[in-house]
A and B are shown apart, each in its own frame.
Chain A
Amino acid sequence: MRLSWMIGGAQGTGVDTSANLFGNAVAKAGYYIFGSREYFSNIKGRHSYFNVVISDKPQHSIETKVDILATFDAETVFQHFDEVKSWLIYDKALEPMSMDKVRSLEPEIAEKQAAILEKAGLGITIADVVKYVSGKGVKTVAIDYGPLMKNIINQLKMDPFAAEKARNMLCAGASFALLGLDQQLLVDAIKFTFGKKELFLNLNTLAAQSGMAQTKDAYGLRPLPVQGHRVQLDGNTISAMGKLYGGLGFQSYYPITPASDESTYIEANQNLNSGDSQKGVVVLQTEDELAAINAANGAALTGTRAATATSGPGFSLMNEGISWAGMNEVPVLVTYYMRGSPATGLPTRSGQSDLKLALNAGHGEFARIVLASGDHAEVFEDAVNGLNLAEVCQTPVVHIVEKTLANAYAVMDESVLEQGSARIDRGKVVFPDEPEKYKRFEITDDGISPRAFLGHAQMYYTGDEHNEYGHITEASDNRIAMYEKRIRKMEAADKFLPDSKKVNMVGNADTVLLTWGSPKGAITDAMEELKGSGIEVEMVQVRMFSPYPKSTMANALKGKKRIIAVENNYYAQGAEVMTEHLGIMPTHYILKWNGRPMAKDEIISAVTDIVKNDTKKVVLDGGK
């Protein structure tokens, strides 16, 4: 089973909180959840929404059409009414409200939504929307939010302005009761979150209960048996956890969406037990991203595991620092939260348009590693591997996590965090016996020099071409030898991870969905249903882009009839990288660059279209 629910509302009115509590309560009944958050580059007032998918199996993607649309304002109804399949929950008092009164609704969207209603011979009020969706078979629940909230306010004798903020919980409650699960689960989730603030605990509990009284069991969900523990984690948090587990000692950052939450989480949890003692991870908020990358470079020279986290605009500023790290063989990890580019682009939406920037960041040719995670579990694993690869190959590592994963949460089995199998490899670390004679850049067979830390030997670093001691030299022979040494390290990087961690291959079919990053989720969730309709597909998902896993990919794609590149960008950059390395071209494309994640139903219809009609390129536009 797979059921999807969407709640929307103005930013600052608790859309996030209600979606988290709703998901938490459903998860407590033994269901897996995938929740995806969409919001504006704004703090208060603009429309945000949360899309939550519920299932008895692990989920990794959303749907463009939802089963239940839960609203407590007019804008959500107007913006999303054409995306609901079964239930619309709305505020009865808003029925006379006209779309042109909702100032925050973007004119491009208003025009499109009004046209849908007009085409059906309707006006543009909420009442018209209710008529429209009813005509499509959607059941509607009109809730008297005002009077219901008034009752609660009287009961608690509290400030009406503060109490109005609980409308979100009333809405979540009405949705929750439709599912048919034990109502106590939602009450418990509220208690867990607001436990220490009695007034808010009471307010939210009463609001949820009041909401639950408005609807009846429509889906008949029952609790499921569960083995082991389950966790609810978003991409920012899981990346932070991976870095901490991997031994991070220093993280620098400059505030930017959607990367900063990782750094603030690390700072909030900076004191950790390590072996028999305590240790503190230093988190430094810098003056800009130039300082962020270079402070991390500096920290790395002392032997601490150092990292930074940013997104497109910040990463652009980090280019020179990454180049210095390449030249000076600095183990530094950059977690790159990819969002809608170019420039500030879509600051709070997602995208995969910067892959080639990550692959070519910093002037010059040097060994570099680029990893791209496809789901939450991979983010954890790649964060640990990224820190290992940085030290083993003594080179900068870029770890790509898209906004889609950063701001989505998944309820998953705790075991997927793979703590048990994680290893730490610090590479060639030395404490020289003759520290005055140490050569930081000693030329070796594999290109990797024994690495001592600042304080343990006399050493020199410089961005200029240098000799084995790190002193500047422009001599031709030395230049040739050093240049080759730095690039030779790519062979060690290529050998470090097993093939299965570089390329993820699922299924075996003539039709390959070639992808990377977050589209993995929608593809994974779509594969079974496609098979059911007679379309067998295989997924080949690239997790390591540099060094490119050439032989693995060549084998994976040998003799395939269709190679469909599935990416959140215009050029299919991941496929272009494949062509550059292997000379293989995709045969078809499924692309999306509207800043919204790929949805399961979009993949199903696009793949079906390509297989049935040989359509060369399908451009997706799902999500608002």
Chain B
Amino acid sequence: MEVNEAIEFNDWCPGCGDFGILRGVESALSEMKLDFTDAVIVSGIGCSGKLPHFVSGPISGVHTLHGRSLAFAIGIKLANPSMKVIVDAGDGDTFGIGVGHFVSAGRRNADMTMIVHDNRVYGLTKGQAAPTMPMGEKTKALPKPNINEPINPVALAVASGYTFVARSFAYDTAMTKELIKQAVQHKGMGLIDILQPCPTYNDINTNEWYKERIFKLEDDPEVHDPSETMAKMTQALKNAYMPEDKIPVGLFYKNEFIPTFEERLKANIPNYMEKYPADHEIEKDGKPITDITRLIEARRVL
């Protein structure tokens, strides 16, 4: 694995799982030879949101608003579908304040990749319970045990229509990199939920805690024929809801039979992929060239 020599300055806590995810992203970009000409990293708010600023290598980054990374991402993708759009967001970002966008992204199945930094706490605001923290858990910054049931990211993704659903572990940079590459190359909306320790605020779900529980999924997750869809979704949900004494990682579900949002748009706009909005010419010598004569004529009374 090629790792960039020039490491960017970075202000995450020592031992943060974000480092592993960052390495996975950098290696995946480098192996796929993606740079600012054909890819962009969009992030949300929180520790994870800073990731694009910390990537060493020639990439562009858009560090957005809390919860809204997917909204920005869909705008970028649909205006310029030639770009690979990779989203990095936190668990609170994605499943708390931005959960509506997460569900809608599945319904659209645009060809994008969503990487969730899942450490079960809101790190940058000092350790409150994130939507993925189990009920009853009391990490050290919580005054009382968590009284909310957790969201299951893998199950929610499958139910929402994501067509590539995976889980990784932040410190397994090789698996993280591999899954990111697969998700980017997958045709459709992909989720990689990355379990990560927060050494500062999560004293329960630590590196050691995960290492004792994690195992690699062996099931074939891919839909090879549309008739297998329900069976593969059911299998993915069953694996997603496995009791926490054993935590499966790897690919849970993959289905390339669902048309992407870009393909659905192409049905309405025949030359969409060749002449997408970012590539529209709109003026010549300062004069508008968009022809609205037909629209005006349709409203003529005389």
Q: Give A contacts to B, CB under 8 Å.
A: 24, 27-28, 30, 226, 229-233, 237, 241, 244-247, 249-250, 252, 269-275, 277-282, 284, 286-288, 290-291, 294-306, 320-321, 324, 384, 411, 414, 417, 419, 422-426, 435-436, 453-464, 470-472
Contacts and interface: CB of A to CB of B under 8 A. Distances in A.
B204 interface: no
The 7 closest A-B pairs by CB, nearest first: A298-B75, A247-B282, A280-B269, A249-B277, A295-B75, A424-B283, A294-B71
A414 B296 contact: yes
B70 to A, nearest CB: 8
Interface in B285-302: 286-292, 295-296, 299-302
B75 to A, nearest CB: 3
A290 B36 contact: no
Given A245-B288, A295-B74, A435-B36, A453 B278 contact: yes
B123 to A, nearest CB: 16
A244 B268 contact: no
B167 interface: no
Interface of B: 35-38, 40, 42, 45, 50, 52-53, 58-65, 67-68, 70-80, 82-83, 100-101, 103-104, 265, 268-272, 275-278, 280-284, 286-292, 295-296, 299-302
A321 B53 contact: no
Given A250-B78, A272-B291, A422-B288, A460 B60 contact: yes
Contacts of A291: 68, 70-71, 74, 100-101, 104
19 contacts: A230-B302, A231-B300, A244-B290, A247-B290, A277-B275, A279-B281, A280-B265, A290-B100, A291-B70, A299-B75, A299-B76, A304-B80, A320-B68, A321-B68, A455-B80, A455-B278, A457-B60, A459-B60, A463-B45
A287 to B, nearest CB: 4
A296 B78 CA distance: 10
B65 to A, nearest CB: 5
A286 B101 CA distance: 9
Given A247-B288, A458-B35, 7 more contacts: A28-B301, A270-B269, A282-B78, A287-B100, A299-B78, A454-B83, A460-B60
Contacts of A459: 36, 60
A27 B288 contact: no
A271 B40 contact: no
Contacts of B283: 247, 424, 426
Contacts of A455: 36-38, 40, 60, 80, 82-83, 278
B68 A294 contact: yes
B258 to A, nearest CB: 18
Given A436-B58, A455-B37, A455-B80, A284 B289 contact: no
B75 A241 contact: no
A282 B280 contact: no
A470 B75 CA distance: 20
A464 B50 CA distance: 10
Contact of B62 (A271, A298, A435): A298
A304 B302 contact: no
B38 to A, nearest CB: 7
B288 A384 contact: yes
B286 A425 contact: yes
A211 to B, nearest CB: 21
A245 B80 contact: no
Given A232-B299, A424-B286, A435-B36, A304 B278 contact: yes
Contact of B292 (A245, A280, A303): A245
Contacts of A297: 72, 75
A383 to B, nearest CB: 11
Given A303-B278, A458-B60, A246 B65 contact: no
B53 A471 contact: yes
Contact of A294 (B50, B72, B77): B72
Given A299-B277, A457-B36, A280 B59 contact: no
A302 B278 contact: yes
A472 B52 contact: no
A295 B79 CA distance: 10
A249 B287 contact: no
A528 to B, nearest CB: 25
A460 B52 contact: yes
Contacts of B300: 229-232, 414
Contact of A306 (B65, B68, B75): B75
Contacts of A286: 71, 74, 104
A424 B75 contact: no
Most chain A Cβ neighbours within 10 Å, of B72, B73, B82? B72
A366 to B, nearest CB: 15
A320 B65 contact: yes
A370 to B, nearest CB: 22
A461 B63 contact: yes
Given A294-B72, A302-B80, A460-B52, A274 B281 contact: yes
A424 B302 contact: no
A472 B50 contact: yes
Given A295-B71, A298-B79, A455-B38, A241 B302 contact: no
B64 to A, nearest CB: 7
B43 to A, nearest CB: 9
A163 to B, nearest CB: 28
B271 A280 contact: yes
A296 B68 CA distance: 12
